[in-house]
Structures are given as C-alpha cells and as structure tokens.
Amino acid sequence: MKSEIRVEVPADCRLVGVRTDGDVVVIIYEPIQNVRQIGFIHYPEPDDETEEPENKK
C-alpha cells in the first residue's frame, strides 16, 4: 500500500529542496526576497470635490 502527503509552500516563498533524514522528509523553502516591482497604479479615492459637475440645461 502506498500513501501520499502533499505539502504546499507558502505563496511568498520558493522551494529550495527536499531531502530525507531516515524516515523523515525535510522540505526546505525560503522567502522570495528579490521580487521586482515593475509598476503600480494609483486610484484616487472618490469624493464629491473631484466629480465633474453635471451639464444643466
């Protein structure tokens, strides 16, 4: 009979390696440190002062 165990590495980390120590499996992961930001978008908060006035006839 075979069994399987799944281990999920956290989203902000990367898997470095896997090794065994007798009957124990050791999973090595580390935080992702070199995440490069390629841009951002700034959305101003909506308020009454920035809204365009309605055209009145």
Instruction: Note the pLDDT tens digit of each residue in 6-49.
Output: 999 998 899 999 999 999 999 999 988 765 666 676 667 776 55
| pLDDT classification of 52: cutoffs 50, 70, 90 | low
State the DSSP string of the chain: -------PPPTTEEEEEEEEETTEEEEEEEE---PPP------PPP-TTTSPPPP--
